[in-house]
Amino acid sequence: MLESYQSFIQENWEKAGFDNPTAVQSEAMPLILEGRDIIASSPTGTGKTLAYLLPLLQRINADNQGVQAVILAPSRELVMQILQEIQKWSEGTQILAASFIGGANLKRQLEKLKKRPQVVVGTPGRIYELMMQKKLKMHEVKMIVLDEGDQLLLPEYKQAISGIVKATLSDRQLILFSATISPEAVQRATELMKNPQLINITKKESPSVDYQYFLCDAREKMDVLRKISVAGTFQALVFVRDIGNLSVLVEKLQYKDVSVGQLHSDLKKEERAKAIRLFQQGEIQFLLVTEVAARGLDLPGLTHVIHYDFPETISQFVHRSGRTGRLGSSSGTVISIVTEREERKLKQICRELNVKPHQKVLVGGKIEDAKIGVDRGDFRKSDKKFHGYKQRNKNKRS
């Protein structure tokens, strides 16, 4: 399928060790090259970024120093990851890309524009701000990409997205990618597009993901999370409902000597980057995150995701869980810490996703399969064994 692509794309494809394109790449890439507007939905970890990035790079005229493509994403972290992918896949060319994110120094970002990038990637607010200040010229833009498009079509982004799209000429191409997309979002996207082609990939090709859960009272959740941290040597993204709950949980876990970091929108850019770096370097075991901060976050090799606060919707469950078991990984594990009410919701979501959740318990400091009839009383029995295990280890160390 890549025979018609420029040599630098073919060479970088071979260098990456890829074989055949994924389903979403096979369907989307030819349509993008044809100049069609598309709305593409495909599970997380199925190669959506490359599905739009390779045809985008194919169509960039490196001799033209005007901005030819704009990629919009909802979070700083996703913007930076996309930029890294652009730099990786445009290696050996004169194609220049630059990132523009809210909260960053505006003067420095204006300096980037002076270097005349052909590809601009950024958060909608900052891109719209630069455009309104007439610092970012949109008249040569031929392609706009909405990455995590379902998020970008929420009301809070409406003015920025609409303004950016309308600032381009009528022959521009608009592309939307997301892991999930509601009928309402499809309708909003369609209003901005010209006869869009819909792509809906429902099956994740590989790797396999194991869905596990622990049943407990709401007040026991923190202690269950602490015990999970001791029971395994794995690292995990831990999803918490909001910043307030997250900050309190971080303090409690640190007091219990659990190695944790945090990632949320109230942190400074440098603090967020440091948290991700420490996690990637293995310096912290659990990175506690909010929904928005982790949207689109790609951590190569991440094996575990933990739902500490259970998600409100199936869409949230899919996006969170999709941080593990991504393309290029062997497997992933998704753990939910749930109350009885949340257990019913978990099973309903898993039925809709056609996956089977497995109940687990902590016994003697280890994670084991729950036997039929396990309830919170059984959890408390295993709890006592766990404390005995901890005490024995403590005595050995002393």
Q: Do 7-200 and 208-397 share a fold?
A: yes
Residue 247's CB is within 10 A of a number of other CB atoms, namely 15
Residue with tokens 């395994």: 232
Domain residue limits, the chain: 7-200, 208-397
Going by C-alpha positions, the residue among 379, 340, 374 that lies closest to residue 363 is 379
Distance CA 150, CA 148 (A): 6
- Bridge pairing between strands 357-363 and 366-369: antiparallel
- The amino acid sitting at 107 is K
Q: Residues near 98 by Cβ (< 8 Å), separated by ≥ 6?
A: 83, 112, 113, 115, 117, 119, 120, 121
Starting at the edge strand found earlier in the chain, the sheet holding 119-122 runs 97-100, 119-122, 69-72, 143-147, 173-178, 38-41, 197-200
pLDDT at 118 over 70: yes
Tell me which H or E stretch contains 391: helix 376-397
Q: Which two tokens stand for residue 112?
A: 């980037």
Q: How confident is the model at residue 391 (pLDDT cuts 50, 70, 90)?
A: very low
* Residue count (the chain): 398
pLDDT at 17: 81
pLDDT at 222 over 90: yes
Cis peptide preceding 207, ω within 30 of 0: yes
Of 202 and 98, the structure prediction assigns the larger pLDDT to 98
pLDDT at 329: 56
Can you list the positions of beta strands (E) in the chain?
38-41, 69-72, 97-100, 119-122, 143-147, 173-178, 197-200, 208-215, 236-239, 260-263, 286-289, 304-307, 331-338, 357-363, 366-369
pLDDT at 204: 62
pLDDT of 196-211, one tens digit each?
999 998 766 545 789 9
pLDDT at 84 over 90: yes
Of 63 and 374, the structure prediction assigns the larger pLDDT to 63
pLDDT at 209: 86
Q: Residue-wise over 77-104: b if at least 16 C-beta within 10 A, else e?
A: bbbbbbbebbeebbeebebbbbbbbbeb
Tell me what percent of the residues of the chain surpass a pLDDT of 90: 63
Contact 132, 95 (CB under 8 A): no
End-to-end distance of the chain based on CA atoms, in angstroms? 63
Q: Point out which residues pair with 211 in neighbouring strands.
A: 334, 357
Q: How confident is the model at residue 377 (pLDDT cuts 50, 70, 90)?
A: very low
pTM of the model: 0.73
The predicted model gives 351-368 an average pLDDT of 91
Q: Residues near 316 by Cβ (< 8 Å), separated by ≥ 6?
A: 291
The predicted model gives 45-58 an average pLDDT of 93
The CATH class for the domain spanning 7-200 reads alpha beta
Q: Which two tokens stand for residue 227?
A: 């015990």
Which CATH number is associated with domain 208-397? 3.40.50.300
Q: At what angle do helices 124-132 and 106-114 cross, to 10 degrees?
A: 70
pLDDT of 306-342, one tens digit each?
999 999 888 889 888 888 876 555 578 999 999 999 9
pLDDT of 272-296, one tens digit each?
889 989 998 999 999 999 887 666 6
At 236 the three-state DSSP class reads strand
